[in-house]
A and B are shown apart, each in its own frame.
Chain A
Amino acid sequence: MAQIDIKNVCKRYPNGFEALKGVSVEIAAGSFTVILGPSGAGKSTLLRTINGLETPTGGTIQISGQLVTQATLREVRSQVGMVFQHFNLVDRLSVMTNVLTGRLSHRSWLGSLLYLFRREDIDLAHDALIRVGLTDKAWNRADKLSGGQQQRVGIARALAQQPRVILADEPVASLDPVTSEEIMGLLREICTRDGITVVVNLHQVELAKRFADRVIGLNDGLVVYDGPASGLDRATLSKIYNRNGDQVDEQLETMLAYA
């Protein structure tokens, strides 16, 4: 359980592009938050500042009171699991070894060099595989699995860390609608049962409505909506997804399709 404090975070790239223009959000421990927004709104950037994959050019991030800095990166990251759109598994390694890489921050230098793991680590990985329902594939090569299965391995890897937070960057963007439901359901269940704080980037509004407690709408680097999923009416959606002040009422459905 961890509370995430994002205070006035700005991100400006060397070429001048401002991805985040001052975002302040407090994410409660054990909550399920979805970040919505059009492409280029800064969703990914925001998520990645939380575990330090992007360094903000202004503002601070704190997780349970601990400041995210260059010095504290590894410590923070061992407590924060991440799930990626393209799964990012090591193709040639087995499913089990992939999940075990979640334990690497707790392994000794020499042990990890020799690919040695403790019994407890293997048990934790095993438990994670049970949670995501992939025990029968434990010794298969990761790239021999379907997309949905690979994403579940990604989630198992995050679970193996015994994290306080799980971040998911467009976890279902590469999956079909049925599998997307399953994955979102899995993430929701993990949040509810284990009390892990979950923050998900999505562009499917329907999924956000179905699974989120709280939705943060991001547009052009700023928060334009912060409230319950029930508050996602036409007006709010057009505020989140409008570009350059276009009038979008009639074309809202099309806009959403391309968002």
Chain B
Amino acid sequence: MSEQIISRPPLPKKPFNPTPVWLSAWLALMWVIVFDLELSFETLLYGVQDIFEYLSRYSTPNFEDLSRYIELLAQTLATALWGSALAFVVAVVLAPFAARNLTPNPFAYRVARELLNFMRAMPDLLLALIFVAALGLGPLPGALALGVHTAGFLGKFFAESFERVDGGVYEALSATGASRMQVVMYAGWPSIQREALGYVLYIFDRNVRMASVLGLVGAGGIGLALHDTLRMFNYDQSAALIIVILVTILIIDYLSTWLRGKLN
């Protein structure tokens, strides 16, 4: 049997795979953070043990005050509704300027974009604090805060939708002598209407969640009640409140998912 060395043409050099590097860096970073924040596994473990005991305190919800809760809930929903409406109006005005293919000039584009970014960056809680300082306690400052903050999101979503529309359609309308506003109204909004409605529903959903906690800073609604009951260690009533909040958010969530499903 002759010894035959079968030689294969060599494979090209294997490209460097950075994945293990990224993975190790990520794990290292997590470790550093745990160290820096002085997180102790012990505390967590004790905490988890405690949590079960702690959570059992919520096991007997007390619905005595249900009618008041429902009232507060209505207030929370109203806050979310008006906040979303405000966000919608502001977004509708700013979005055409923040879309590269609809904006009249680069300066307007930059200003609109930065304005929307600014509104998004400010946490709604901070805005709520400011508005409470200016308007006093109640749901109105909460609605304003939600409106301003989510206008930033909605405006950006709308603008990005506008930018995805085929530029030729905008062009064709300009070519008939239409003004910029007419191009936006007849080629812009009709083209994105489905997406836009989906975004509005998403923002409303989000606002209902936020509205329920804005009460913690005095901006009305059910959050305030929860804060009070928790502060006074009134677990039964807190449990009832949490259940009310939970059920409401679930219903709104379900409705908005259903509506968005129907849109598609």
Chain A positions near chain B (C-beta within 8 angstroms): 51, 53, 74-82, 84, 86, 88-93, 97, 101-102, 104-105, 107, 109, 112-113, 115, 154, 157-158, 161
Which residue of B168, B181, B186, B193 is within 8 Å of A101 (Cβ)?
A: B186
Residues of B within 8 A of A92 (CB): 190-191, 193
Are the CB atoms of B175 and A53 closer together than 8 Å?
Answer: yes
Inter-chain CA distance A199–B194, complex, in Å, is 37
Are the CB atoms of B178 and A105 closer together than 8 Å?
Answer: yes
Residues of B within 8 A of A84 (CB): 168, 171-172
Residues A109 and B181 in contact in the complex (CB < 8 Å), given A51-B175, A82-B172: yes
Inter-chain CA distance A51–B173, complex, in Å, is 12
Are the CB atoms of B193 and A104 closer together than 8 Å?
Answer: no
* Size of interface on B: residues with Cβ below 8 Å to A: 20
Inter-chain CA distance A55–B78, complex, in Å, is 52
Are the CB atoms of A112 and B185 closer together than 8 Å?
Answer: yes
Tell whether B182 is near chain A: CB-to-CB under 8 Å.
yes
Most chain-A Cβ atoms within 10 A of its Cβ — which of B166, B176, B179, B186? B176
Are the CB atoms of A75 and B190 closer together than 8 Å?
Answer: no
Residues A88 and B181 in contact in the complex (CB < 8 Å), given A93-B186, A101-B186, A104-B186: no
Tell whether B169 is near chain A: CB-to-CB under 8 Å.
yes
Tell whether B234 is near chain A: CB-to-CB under 8 Å.
no
Return the chain B residue nearest A74 by Cβ: B177
Residues A89 and B169 in contact in the complex (CB < 8 Å), given A78-B176, A105-B176, A113-B185: yes
Q: Which parts of B159-211 form the interface with A (CB within 8 Å)?
A: 166, 168-169, 171-179, 181-182, 185-187, 190-191, 193
Are the CB atoms of A75 and B177 closer together than 8 Å?
Answer: yes
Which residue of A109, A115, A157 is within 8 Å of B176 (Cβ)?
A: A157
Residues A81 and B176 in contact in the complex (CB < 8 Å), given A91-B191, A113-B181: yes
Chain B positions near chain A (C-beta within 8 angstroms): 166, 168-169, 171-179, 181-182, 185-187, 190-191, 193
Are the CB atoms of B169 and A101 closer together than 8 Å?
Answer: no
Return the chain A residue nearest B169 by Cβ: A88
Residues A77 and B176 in contact in the complex (CB < 8 Å), given A89-B169, A113-B181: yes
How far, in Å, is A75 (CB) from chain B's closest CB? Answer: 7
Return the chain A residue nearest B178 by Cβ: A104
Are the CB atoms of A104 and B177 closer together than 8 Å?
Answer: yes
Are the CB atoms of B175 and A90 closer together than 8 Å?
Answer: no
Return the chain A residue nearest B175 by Cβ: A82
Residues of A within 8 A of B174 (CB): 53, 77
27 contacts between A and B (CB under 8 A): A51-B175, A75-B177, A78-B177, A80-B175, A81-B175, A82-B172, A82-B176, A84-B171, A88-B169, A90-B190, A92-B191, A92-B193, A93-B186, A97-B186, A101-B182, A102-B176, A104-B173, A104-B178, A105-B177, A107-B182, A109-B181, A112-B181, A112-B185, A115-B185, A157-B176, A161-B176, A161-B177
Which residue of A75, A104, A161 is within 8 Å of B182 (Cβ)?
A: A104
How far, in Å, is B16 (CB) from chain A's closest CB? Answer: 35
Residues of B within 8 A of A77 (CB): 174-177
Inter-chain CA distance A77–B182, complex, in Å, is 14
Residues of B within 8 A of A107 (CB): 182
Residues of A within 8 A of B177 (CB): 74-79, 104-105, 161
Are the CB atoms of A88 and B178 closer together than 8 Å?
Answer: no
